[in-house]
Structure 1
Amino acid sequence: MNTLFDTAPGFDQPIAVLKHCHDRIRKQLATMSKLLDHLPNHGADKDAQQAAQSVLNYFVKAAPLHHEDEEINLLPELQMTAKDEDAALLAGLLPKILSQHEDMAAQWLQLEKQLSAIATASAASLSASEVLDFQALYSEHMQIEETQIAPMAKRLFSEAQMAALGAAMKTRRGITA
């Protein structure tokens, strides 16, 4: 079926939902790059304000839920399920993933201030080095999750575990239907 717009997977496919979140993160990271190019020539015009607000909306609302999905549900469930080489790999990756979440949150605080000022047209600057650092950290993080964590969960989780993960993600977002 070919639709005119990209539809999100349902919570009955929680790993696909997490991947969809990564795609949305990539889109917001690209918007920040476009802002870096746009601001010197156009300042905090309407387009810049809307772009900054879009990035703010995503990283203030959706990104923290995504990290909670991983920290509260996905990773602990994997820890309980993984055995042998999977458990060893997970034990090595987990501290890095959690540390990256902390680093992303700290980096976001700096970018959030700048983007908020752009969104209200009270400033027109965005630190290129901070954007690039944030993009690099998120890119490495998503690559680890997509090549190591997601395939492990798909392989190891039972239908019941997948259903429980999806239900927790849905509840976290206040979705009742």
Structure 2
Amino acid sequence: MAVTLQLHTSPSAGFDEPFGMLHACHGRVERTLALLSRLGEHLAAQGGGVPDEQARDAAADVRRYFDVAAPLHHQDEALHVFPVLRAAGQAALADALHAEHERMEALWQPIRSDLQAIQAGITPAGEALAEVRSRWADFAALYARHIAVEEELAYPQAQSGMGLHEQEAMGRDMAQRRGVRDVRNPILAARSQEVAP
């Protein structure tokens, strides 16, 4: 059975809708984690040896996302969502989500090393691969729980606590940190989807 190792993207909100962009980022996280899982299946099916080009490309895609886009997404939340939650008396929720970001960053480092090895042509096999896949699954499970809390609690509360001007400023800040100058320009907004988390 062939395993598809491509990361598909889909249209999403622009920076003029910052909470829509945050939701879209979660969709990208989920697709990237699904790619990571498929990569593990693919490596298991290969049974060791030098990883093929598909595996190396998938490893590069996952690594790029969690090295570049995911930290920007976490920064968006730290700068714009968590302070609003704290101001609304939801400091415990904001602190818990922030602590999970730190945990994700710590869990990411050995996964990053796994992916670098695959990109360099080294495939873990046997028990080592089982350990790697377990580490990847733990990372994905933490993200799934985290996303659920943000989608169900954090984002709705933060959005309801922000006025239109605050949300516009949030979108501009998110865009500027990604090198997008004019969030109202539809062409730039469309191109920004390629670099937005």
Would you call these one fold, judging by a TM-score over 0.5? yes
| Range 120-129 or range 28-37, more displaced | 120-129
CA distance in 1, matches of 2:145, 2:91: 18
Matches within 5 A, 1:85-164: 87=89, 90-124=90-124, 126=129, 127-164=132-169
Give the superposition deviation at 1:8: 2.3
What is the match of residue 26 of structure 1? 30
| Range 56-65 or range 66-75, more displaced | 66-75
- The structure carrying a bigger helix percent of its residues is 1
CA distance in 1, matches of 2:44, 2:81: 42
Q: Given the alignment of the two structures, is residue 70 of structure 1 paired with residue 77 of structure 2, yes or no?
A: yes
Asked if 1 retains the 8 angstrom alpha-carbon contact of 2:85 and 2:91, the reply is no
In the TM superposition, what whole-angstrom CA distance separates every residue of 1:109-166 from its partner, at most 9, and x where no partner exists? 0100001111221334551211111011101111110000111122221101111111
Give the superposition deviation at 1:66: 0.4
One-letter identity of the residue aligned with 1:63: A
What is the match of residue 186 of structure 2? none
Give the superposition deviation at 1:51: 0.8
In the TM superposition, what whole-angstrom CA distance separates every residue of 1:51-79 from its partner, at most 9, and x where no partner exists? 11110110001000000001122211343
* Matched-pair identity in %: 37
What is the match of residue 174 of structure 2? 169
CA RMSD of aligned residues (A): 1.5
| Range 166-175 or range 69-78, more displaced | 69-78
* Residue-pair matches, total: 166
CA distance in 1, matches of 2:66, 2:178: 14
What is the match of residue 7 of structure 1? 11
Q: TM-score, normalised by structure 2?
A: 0.79
1:50 is paired with a residue whose SS is: helix
Give the superposition deviation at 1:7: 1.6
User: Where in structure 1 do 4 or more consecutive aligned residues deviate above 6 Å?
Assistant: none
Asked if 2 retains the 8 angstrom alpha-carbon contact of 1:107 and 1:134, the reply is yes
CA distance in 1, matches of 2:99, 2:18: 23
What is the match of residue 59 of structure 2? 52
Q: TM-score, normalised by structure 1?
A: 0.88
Is there any run of 5+ residues in structure 1 with no aligned partner, and where? none
Give the superposition deviation at 1:13: 0.6
Is there any run of 5+ residues in structure 2 with no aligned partner, and where? 1-8, 183-197
One-letter identity of the residue aligned with 1:22: H
2:180 is paired with a residue whose SS is: coil
CA distance in 1, matches of 2:85, 2:179: 24
One-letter identity of the residue aligned with 1:98: H
